[in-house]
Structure 1
């Protein structure tokens, strides 16, 4: 399996996506900084604490990397079915299940790793910039960063699984556009927030909803290759 993952990594030149990852980090943080600094003099400032700052940052990151994950998924799987490349690969002396599972695993791990690294790096950057920029009220301590680690890990794992849901739509038409479009809809639906002025609500705040959706994403991934050894992919 490890060899398959390495082959898929090199075949699809996955290292080039690190540039896209870097652009995502810069774009998200610049957007957050503009919102925070722009509201500093408001009576009802947008950022009153590190927790509130990271709450909004996590929402934007989740949306971004669910879509980012769908792009990876489209590249590794959907486009290869659409261009019939997958048919050629299925003639290789290797189980179809194993091949498709390796692709799904790579897409999942890349999405999870990117989201986790994004959030963790941004927290570290905030830790160093907060004293000079004052992005929100109060300070950030190392204890604050460590305290967010379990939530960051669980959130990344669940969002990575949710990013697999667009597979069910993309495989129907073998369309990368459909895959990415459905990812956009899912990402905004799950992470959209409603506020009454004092409190905000998001579907991600209801613990069992992202858990159920992540299990649904895993189930879709499993069903996509369960019968692939006997299925006609022509």
Structure 2
């Protein structure tokens, strides 16, 4: 009997995720992602033009290109993740619409878990794809318009960068859950968004061409550990929340 229950639990979670995706249309997120990619790509081109005129060299090689595009992408989607948290969790608690979900004969922990899984997965996928598209897009445009010196990319370098992108995107997507703590305190959307901006400052700050916090994996990793602690606390205490 216990084995049947264990088998059913992932199925229930899967159906909850499908239900949440139907209820919370993420078309705006997809459109926002496309627009963000265009803006980030334009920003990279603009930076390279300015650098060319001022004779500075941040985008002179593959590492510099992926660092700047990575910082831009992660900064953007940390905020996007906070917006998802606000729409899918904070806003539902604030407006008490979460009571509809809680009225179902389904464990509250699973409902919250489904929402958090969606937020992390959507953020991770968007971040990974956007970083690759922005970086390779700039390299491709550079071959045509010669914004900066010719940049070559070997298959080994590309593989190494993709692995790095996946690692940073995964840790950052989890770290982007930290605003959940600030938002759930008083069901405040402004607090959720503001705290995400603070995380952007911590993880994506640059101090010139030779040093950037965006290159230090331990920062998003440490924040990811903190975020997991917040998630565990929120899930464990979800049964005690009284919205009546």
Q: State the TM bucket, normalised to the shorter chain.
A: over 0.9
Q: Cα distance, 1:209 vs. partner?
A: 2.6
1:201 alignment partner, one of 193, 207, 212 = 212
User: The residue matched to 1:148 in structure 2 has which SS?
Assistant: helix
Contact 2:204–2:212 under 8 Å retained in 1: no
CA distance change for structure 1 residues 158 and 168 in 2, over 3 Å: closer, same or farther?
same
Q: Cα distance, 1:142 vs. partner?
A: 4.5
Q: Cα distance, 1:16 vs. partner?
A: 3.0
Q: Which runs of 4+ in 1 moved over 4 A?
A: none
CA distance in structure 2 between the aligned counterparts of 1:135 and 1:226, rounded to whole angstroms: 52
CA distance in structure 1 between the aligned counterparts of 2:139 and 2:160, rounded to whole angstroms: 14
Matching of residues 37-56 of structure 1 within 5 Å: 37-56=49-68
User: The residue matched to 1:39 in structure 2 has which SS?
Assistant: helix
CA distance in structure 2 between the aligned counterparts of 1:80 and 1:94, rounded to whole angstroms: 17
Matching of residues 119-138 of structure 1 within 5 Å: 119-138=131-150
Specify which structure has the higher proportion of helix: 2
2:48 alignment partner, one of 36, 43, 58 = 36
Q: Cα distance, 1:230 vs. partner?
A: 3.8
State which drifts further: 70-79 or 211-220. Answer: 211-220
Unaligned runs of 5+ in 1: none
1:58 counterpart = 2:75: no
2:191 alignment partner, one of 174, 178, 185 = 178
- The equivalent of 1:216 in structure 2 is 226
Contact 1:50–1:136 under 8 Å retained in 2: no
Contact 1:50–1:137 under 8 Å retained in 2: no
1:75 counterpart = 2:87: yes
Superposed CA RMSD? 1.6
- The equivalent of 1:163 in structure 2 is 176
Q: Cα distance, 1:149 vs. partner?
A: 1.0
Q: Cα distance, 1:54 vs. partner?
A: 1.6
Q: Cα distance, 1:3 vs. partner?
A: 1.4
CA distance in structure 2 between the aligned counterparts of 1:201 and 1:126, rounded to whole angstroms: 20
- The equivalent of 2:106 in structure 1 is 94
- The equivalent of 1:148 in structure 2 is 161
